C-alpha cells in the first residue's frame, strides 16, 4: 500500500492551485456566478487546453488515461476554489456516461468534442418525487419506427441550459423503481417537445427543470442497450459521488483554515478568540471532521475499480460521513465567525452553501447510510 | 400540582383565539403561513390592530398601557398568536427600549416616547453591536462628547436589525473613555434616525435578504435630554434590557408552528413511493425534535410557575435561549433534509407575495434552504450561545 501522491499527482495539484490563485480568486468567482451563463466559457477552454477535461478518460476514449486519484485531486482543488464551471455534470456525468454506455460511433463523435471544450453535456435523471432512489425513472420511452418518443419530467438538472446534449434516462419497461427497463438517450437540447426551465441554485450554480412532451429521437440517440442502462448509471454516479466527496473535502478544508485564521486574528475580551479553550476544542473537532472526510474520500476513490459491492460500500461510507461532517464543519465555520459568518460578503457563507448542497447530490447522508447498511 | 390549565386560563385562551380569528388580516396571515416576505406595512398594520385592542405590550405595567396578564396568560397569548400565524411584534420598541424608558427614563421621556411606541407611530432599532464589540459589548467605541446641550456622536454600529425602517435608534455610546473599567464609561442615548450625519448601509445576509445594516454616525448632534438615566450608567440599563431580549427568544409557540409545517412537508414528500413521514428513520428524527421541544416547553412552564409564585426569574432565560435557538435551527435542518434536491433552486421571487408563476418543485420548497441558511443567525444574535453558556457557568455553576 502506498497512499502518497506520485510526481504527476503533485504536479497536477500544484498547477490547479496556481490557476485558482492567479485566475480564479473569490472576486472573479463572484463575477462569474452573477453572469447570465453562470460559468466562464474562457475558463472552460482553459481547462480543455490544460488537459483537465481529458483526465477521467482513457487513451482509447481520447483522454489522458489518468487514474481516479487525479480526478480526486482536481475536484478537491476545485472545492477549495469553489469553481463554478460544470465539470461534474458535463465531464463526470455526461462524458463518462457516453464513455461507459455509448457505442464506438457515439464515443468518437462526442468525446473528442467534449474533451476539446467544444460541447457541453448534462444528465437528466432525477425526477420529482423520486427522492434519491437511483432506479426511480417514471419518464417513458416508447419505441417506434426509426426511433423513440420520450415523455416525462426531470428535476434539478445541472448545466441543462448550457448543454448541447442532455443525456436523459427513460423507461421502456418495468415498474417505476425497477432497475431493469431503463435506457439512456442523447437528446439535443433544442429538440422539439423538450422544455428547459432554467434557474440559479442557492450555491451559485445553474440547473433546470425539464419537461419532455413527445420528444422524438432517432435510434442513434440510444446509449447502450435498450432497457439495460442501470449498471452504467450506478457506476458513473458512484464515480461522480466519489469526486464530489473530494470537492467537499476541499470546501471543508478551506472553511476550516479560514475559521482558524479568524480565531487567531479576531479579538474579543482583549485576546484572540482562539485563546478561549471552548473554541479551541471546536476547532479541533473541525480538524478531526476534515481528516476523516479526507480519509473516506480517498478510500472511496481507491475503491472505484473494485467489485460492485466494495465500490458501493466505500462510496456510500464516504458520502454518508461527508454529509454529516460537512454539515458540522459548515455550521461551525459560520458560528465561529459570529455575525460575519451570516453575511453574503464573506467567503464563508458561500462555501457553507455549496457544502450544504453537496449533501443533496445523488443521495444525502441518510440515503447513503442506508445503502451502506444494505451492502454489508 | 396539576398539568391542566385552569378554567380561567382556558377561557382566556378562547378569548385570544376568537380575537385572532376575527382580527388577523387574512393576507398577512397567508404571508406568515407560507413563509413569504413581510413588509414594514404588514408589521405596522398588525401592530395597530393590537394597539387598538390594548394587547400590544402585555409585558408593560398596566399604568403604562400593559395588560396586567399573569405570566401564564402571557405565555398562552404568545402561543396562540404564533399558532394563528400572526407576525411577531417588532421587539425593539415594545420589548427593549420601552421597558428601559419606563424603568429608568424621566417623566418627559415616558410621556413622549411610550405612547408612540404603543401606537406604532415610532419604530426603533437597537444600536449595541459594533465591529469591534460583539460578544465583548463593553468594548464599544462609539463616542458621545458633551458640547453644551448636545452630545456629538461619532462612530459605527453594526448588525442593526431593521435600521432601514426605524425612526429612532437606542445606542450605547462611550461618554467616559477614561473610566476605570470599560463598562463604566457607557451611556444610553436615544437618537432620531433622521439626524444629519447618520448613514445606514444594508448588510446582505447569506440567504440574500436585507434585515441588518451598518449605521454610521458622523458628528451627529443629540440633545442631552435624550440621555436615559444617568450618564455613564448605561451598562446597567443595557444588561436589564438584554434579560428582556433573551426571555422571548425561546419562542416555543413559533417552533410548534414550524414543527407542524415540517410534518406537513414530510407527509407530502415521497421516499420509495411512500410518504417520508412514514420512513422510520425520518420519523425518529422528527420525534426526537418534538421531545426536545416538549422539554423546552415544560422548562419554560416551570419558570413561569416560579415567577407566578413571586420568585425572581433565574438563569432559565439563558437556557431557554440556548435550547430554543437550537430547536429552531434543527427544524430548518430537517426541512432541508425533507425537500431533498428541491433545496437547490434559488427563486427569491417565489418568496414575494403575488408571484404567481408555477413553483419549481413543490410549492413549500422555495423558502426552505434560505431559511436554513438565515437561521444560523439564531445561535449568534441576542448573545451567542457560547456566551450564554459562559454566563450559566459563571453565575449558576459558579465555575
Ligand atoms: C441577524 C443578526 C441580527 C442582529 N441584530 C442586532 C441588532 O439589532 N442590534 C445589535 O446591537 N446587534 C445585533 N446583532 C449582533 C449580535 O448581537 C452579535 O453578532 C453577537 O453579539 C456576536 O458578536 P460578533 O458577531 O461580533 O461575534 P464575536 O463576538 O466576534 O464572536 C465570534 C464567535 O466567537 C464566540 N465567542 C466570542 N467570545 C467568546 C468567549 N469568551 N467564549 C467562547 N466563545 C466566544 C462567539 O460565540 C462566536 O461564535 C445581530 C446579529 C445578527 C447575526
Q: What residue's CA is closest to ligand 1, atom 51?
A: B381
Predicted local confidence at residue B243, as pLDDT: 67
For residue B249, is pLDDT > 70?
no
Confidence (pLDDT) at A263: 98
- Structural domains in chain B, CATH included, are 7-89 (no CATH), 124-232 (2.40.110.10), 246-395 (1.20.140.10)
Residue B244 has pLDDT above 70, yes or no: no
Residue B162 has pLDDT above 70, yes or no: yes
The pLDDT assigned to A2 comes to 86
Mean pLDDT of chain A: 97
pLDDT recorded at residue B353: 86
Q: Which CATH number fits domain A121-227: 2.40.110.10, 2.60.40.10, 3.40.50.170, 3.30.565.10?
A: 2.40.110.10
Give pLDDT, residue A166.
98
pLDDT of residue A360: 98
- What is the percent of chain B where pLDDT is above 70? 97
pLDDT at site B67: 94
Where does CATH 1.20.140.10 sit in chain A?
231-373
Is the confidence at residue B247, as pLDDT, over 60?
no
ipTM of the complex: 0.97
- Interface check B232 vs A, CB under 8 A: no
Q: Is the CB of residue B297 less than 8 Å away from at least one CB of chain A?
A: no
Looking at the complex, report in whole angstroms how far the Cα of residue A361 sits from the nearest Cα belonging to chain B: 7
In a 10 Å sphere around its CB, with 0-12 CB exposed, 13-18 middle and 19+ buried, how is residue A314 labelled?
buried
Task: For domain A7-115, say whether CATH 1.10.540.10 is its number.
Answer: yes
Q: Kindly report, residue by residue over B263-286, the tens digit of the pLDDT.
A: 999 999 999 999 999 999 999 999
What does pTM read for this prediction?
0.97
Euclidean distance between CA atoms A273 and B134, whole angstroms? 12
Report whether pLDDT(A292) > 80: yes
A206 by DSSP, 3-state: which? strand
User: Which of B156, B345, B357, B382 is the best substitution to test chain A (most A C-beta atoms within 10 A)?
Assistant: B345
User: With contact defined as beta carbons under 8 Å apart, do A50 and A19 qualify?
Assistant: yes
- Which residues are paired to A151 by β-bridges? A140
Each residue's pLDDT tens digit, A156-200: 999 999 999 999 999 999 999 999 999 999 999 999 999 999 999
Q: What is the mean pLDDT of chain B?
A: 94
Q: Is the pLDDT of residue B248 over 70?
A: no
Are A223 and A167 in contact by the 8 Å Cβ rule? The answer is: yes
Q: How far is A185 from chain B (nearest CA, A)?
A: 23
Smallest Cβ distance to B340: which of A132, A201, A327?
Answer: A132
pLDDT at A16: 98
Spatial CA neighbour of A249 closest among A192, A318, A181: A318
CA-to-CA distance for A251 and A77, rounded, in angstroms? Answer: 9
Q: Which of B344, B376, B380 sits opposite A156 (nearest CB)?
A: B344
Q: Classify domain A231-373 at the CATH class level.
A: mainly alpha
Cβ pair B384:A338 closer than 8 A: yes
CB contact under 8 A, A349 and B206: yes
Under the banding of pLDDT at 50, 70 and 90, the label for residue B3 is: confident
B199 assigned to active site: no
| Residue reference for cell 481528516 | A291
Region(s) of chain A under CATH 2.40.110.10: 121-227
Check pLDDT > 90 for residue B309.
Answer: no
Helices A7-23 and A41-49, axial angle in degrees (round to 10)? 160
Q: How far is CA A133 from the centre of its chain?
A: 17
Secondary structure of residue B272 in the 3-state scheme? coil
pLDDT tens digits, one per residue of A95-124: 999 999 999 999 999 999 999 999 999 999
Whether A156 and B282 lie within 8 Å, measured CB to CB: no
Minimal-distance CA residue to ligand 1 atom 52: B381
**CB spacing of A338 vs B269 below 8 angstroms:** no
Residue B112 has pLDDT above 60, yes or no: yes
Decide whether any atom of ligand 1 lies within 6 Å of the B373 Cβ.
Answer: no
The alpha-carbon gap from A33 to the nearest alpha carbon of chain B, in Å, equals 13
Residue A221 has pLDDT above 70, yes or no: yes
Cβ pairs A/B, distance under 8 A: 125
Does B1 score more than 90 pLDDT?
no
pLDDT value at A7 more than 80: yes
B35-47 residue pLDDT tens:
889 999 999 999 9
Confidence check: pLDDT of B303 > 90: no
Residues forming CATH 1.10.540.10 domain(s) in chain A? 7-115
Confidence of residue B246 (pLDDT cuts 50, 70, 90): low
Are the CB atoms for A189 and A164 separated by under 8 Å?
A: yes
In chain B, residues with a C-beta closer than 8 Å to the C-beta of A207 are: 344-345
Can you tell me the distance from the alpha carbon of B381 to that of B242, in angstroms, rounded to the nearest whole number? 11
Q: Which of A211-220, A344-353, A357-366, B350-359 has the lowest mean pLDDT?
A: B350-359
Output the pLDDT for position B374.
97
**pLDDT of residue A211 exceeding 60:** yes
- Check pocket membership of B364 for ligand 1, CB cut-off 6 A: no
Q: Is the CB of residue B341 less than 8 Å away from at least one CB of chain A?
A: yes
Question: Which has more confidence, A3 or B339?
Answer: B339
Mutate to test the pocket of ligand 1, among B92, B134, B322, B326 (most ligand atoms within 8 A of CB): B134
Amino acid at each position: 500500500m502506498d497512499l502518497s501522491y506520485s510526481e504527476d499527482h503533485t504536479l497536477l495539484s500544484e498547477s490547479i492551485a496556481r490557476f485558482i490563485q492567479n485566475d480564479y480568486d473569490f472576486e472573479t468567482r463572484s463575477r462569474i456566478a452573477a453572469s447570465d451563463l453562470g460559468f466562464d466559457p474562457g475558463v472552460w477552454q482553459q481547462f480543455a487546453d490544460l488537459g483537465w477535461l481529458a483526465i477521467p478518460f482513457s487513451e482509447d476514449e481520447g483522454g489522458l488515461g489518468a487514474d481516479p486519484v487525479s480526478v480526486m485531486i482536481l475536484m478537491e482543488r476545485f472545492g477549495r476554489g469553489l469553481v463554478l464551471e460544470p465539470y461534474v455534470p458535463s465531464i463526470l456525468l455526461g462524458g463518462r456516461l457516453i464513455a461507459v454506455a455509448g457505442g464506438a460511433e457515439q464515443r468518437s463523435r462526442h468525446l473528442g468534442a467534449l474533451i476539446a471544450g467544444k460541447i457541453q453535456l448534462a444528465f437528466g435523471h432525477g425526477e420529482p418525487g423520486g427522492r434519491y432512489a437511483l432506479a426511480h425513472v417514471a419518464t417513458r420511452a416508447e419505441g417506434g419506427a426509426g426511433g423513440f418518443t420520450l415523455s416525462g419530467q426531470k428535476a434539478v438538472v445541472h448545466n441543462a441550459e448550457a448543454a448541447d446534449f442532455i443525456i436523459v434516462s427513460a423507461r421502456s419497461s418495468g415498474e417505476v423503481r425497477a432497475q431493469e427497463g431503463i435506457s439512456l438517450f442523447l437528446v439535443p437540447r433544442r429538440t422539439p417537445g423538450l422544455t428547459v426551465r432554467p434557474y440559479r441554485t442557492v450555491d451559485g450554480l445553474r440547473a433546470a427543470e425539464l419537461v419532455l412532451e413527445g420528444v422524438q429521437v432517432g435510434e442513434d440517440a440510444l446509449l447502450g442497450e435498450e432497457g439495460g442502462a442501470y449498471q452504467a448509471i450506478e457506476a458513473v454516479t458512484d464515480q461522480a459521488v466519489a469526486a464530489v466527496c473530494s470537492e467537499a473535502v476541499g470546501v471543508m478544508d478551506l472553511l476550516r483554515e479560514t475559521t482558524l485564521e479568524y480565531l487567531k486574528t479576531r479579538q474579543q475580551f482583549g485576546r484572540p478568540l482562539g485563546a478561549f479553550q471552548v473554541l479551541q476544542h471546536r476547532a479541533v473537532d473541525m480538524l478531526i471532521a476534515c481528516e476523516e472526510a479526507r480519509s473516506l474520500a480517498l478510500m472511496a476513490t481507491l475503491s472505484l475499480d473494485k467489485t460492485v459491492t466494495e465500490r458501493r460500500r466505500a462510496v456510500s461510507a464516504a458520502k454518508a460521513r461527508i454529509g454529516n461532517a460537512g454539515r458540522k464543519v459548515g455550521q461551525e465555520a459560520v458560528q465561529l465567525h459570529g455575525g460575519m459568518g451570516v453575511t453574503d460578503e464573506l467567503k464563508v457563507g458561500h462555501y457553507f452553501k455549496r457544502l450544504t448542497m453537496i449533501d443533496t447530490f445523488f443521495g444525502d447522508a441518510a440515503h447513503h447510510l442506508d445503502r451502506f447498511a444494505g451492502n454489508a | 400540582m396539576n398539568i391542566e390549565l385552569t378554567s380561567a386560563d382556558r377561557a382566556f385562551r378562547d378569548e385570544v383565539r376568537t380575537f385572532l380569528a376575527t382580527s388577523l388580516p387574512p393576507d398577512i396571515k397567508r404571508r406568515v403561513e407560507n413563509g413569504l416576505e413581510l413588509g414594514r406595512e404588514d408589521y405596522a398594520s398588525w401592530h395597530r390592530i393590537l394597539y387598538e385592542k390594548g394587547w400590544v405590550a402585555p409585558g408593560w405595567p398596566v399604568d403604562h398601557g400593559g395588560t396586567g396578564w399573569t405570566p401564564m396568560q402571557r405565555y398562552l397569548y404568545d402561543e396562540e398568536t404564533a399558532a394563528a400565524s400572526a407576525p411577531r411584534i417588532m421587539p425593539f420598541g415594545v420589548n427593549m427600549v420601552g421597558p428601559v424608558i419606563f424603568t429608568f427614563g424621566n417623566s418627559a421621556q415616558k410621556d413622549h416616547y411610550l405612547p408612540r411606541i404603543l401606537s406604532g407611530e415610532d419604530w426603533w432599532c437597537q444600536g449595541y453591536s459594533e465591529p469591534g464589540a460583539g460578544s465583548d459589548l463593553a468594548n464599544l467605541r462609539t463616542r458621545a462628547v458633551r458640547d453644551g446641550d448636545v452630545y456629538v456622536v461619532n462612530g459605527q454600529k453594526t448588525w442593526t436589525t431593521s435600521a432601514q425602517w426605524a425612526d429612532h435608534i437606542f445606542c450605547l455610546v462611550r461618554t467616559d473613555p477614561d473610566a476605570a473599567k470599560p463598562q463604566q464609561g457607557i451611556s444610553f442615548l436615544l437618537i432620531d434616525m433622521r439626524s444629519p450625519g447618520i448613514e445606514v448601509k444594508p448588510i446582505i445576509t447569506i440567504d440574500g435578504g436585507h434585515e441588518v445594516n451598518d449605521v454610521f454616525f458622523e458628528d451627529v448632534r443629540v440633545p442631552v435630554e435624550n440621555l436615559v438615566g444617568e450618564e455613564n450608567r448605561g451598562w446597567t440599563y443595557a444588561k436589564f434590557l438584554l434579560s428582556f431580549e433573551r426571555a422571548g427568544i425561546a419562542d416555543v409557540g413559533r417552533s410548534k408552528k414550524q414543527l407542524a409545517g415540517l410534518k406537513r412537508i414530510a407527509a407530502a414528500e415521497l421516499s420509495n413511493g411512500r410518504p417520508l413521514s412514514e420512513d422510520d428513520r425520518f420519523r425518529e428524527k422528527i420525534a426526537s425534535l418534538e421531545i426536545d421541544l416538549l422539554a423546552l416547553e415544560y422548562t419554560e412552564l416551570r419558570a413561569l410557575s416560579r415567577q407566578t409564585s413571586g420568585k425572581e426569574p433565574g438563569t432559565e432565560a439563558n437556557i431557554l435561549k440556548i435550547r430554543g435557538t437550537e430547536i429552531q435551527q434543527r427544524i430548518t435542518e430537517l426541512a432541508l433534509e425533507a425537500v431533498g434536491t428541491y433545496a437547490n433552486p434559488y427563486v427569491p421571487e417565489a418568496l414575494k407575495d403575488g408571484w404567481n408563476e408555477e413553483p419549481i418543485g413543490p410549492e413549500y420548497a422555495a423558502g426552505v434552504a434560505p431559511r436554513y441558511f438565515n437561521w444560523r443567525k439564531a445561535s449568534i444574535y441576542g448573545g451567542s450561545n457560547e456566551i450564554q453558556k459562559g454566563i450559566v457557568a459563571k453565575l449558576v455553576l459558579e465555575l
